[in-house]
């Protein structure tokens, strides 16, 4: 069951990346541009969440 869920998540991520690429070319339909916006928003949220957690766990001893 876990493999099925992870497979669906991976397929959704790949589909989002394809829509981002398609929208960047400029000839994507409206629904693909919407999927691209959602994908980019999700990546920004993930990036900001990783940035906050990384700054909390840094020890500062380099």
- pLDDT digit string, tens, across residues 3-60: 999 999 999 999 999 999 999 999 999 999 999 999 999 999 989 988 777 555 555 5
Instruction: Establish if 24 belongs to a structural domain.
Output: yes
Model's pTM, two decimal places?
0.71
Question: How buried is residue 33: exposed, middle or buried, by Cβ count under 10 Å (0-12/13-18/19+)?
Answer: middle
Angle of CA points 57, 51, 60, to nearest 5°: 35
Instruction: Establish if 23 belongs to a structural domain.
Output: yes
Rounded Cα distance between 20 and 40, Å, is 8
> What domain range includes position 40?
13-44
- Work out how many domains the chain is built from and give that number: 1
Other Cβ atoms within 10 Å of 60 Cβ, number: 4
Classify the C-alpha dihedral 27-32-37-41 as positive or negative.
Answer: negative
């Amino acid at each position: 069951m876990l493999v099925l869920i992870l497979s669906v998540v991976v397929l959704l991520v790949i589909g989002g990346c394809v829509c981002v690429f398609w929208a960047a070319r400029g000839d994507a339909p409206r629904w693909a541009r919407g999927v691209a916006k959602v994908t980019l928003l999700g990546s920004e949220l993930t990036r900001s969440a990783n940035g906050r957690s990384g700054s909390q766990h840094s020890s500062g001893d380099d």
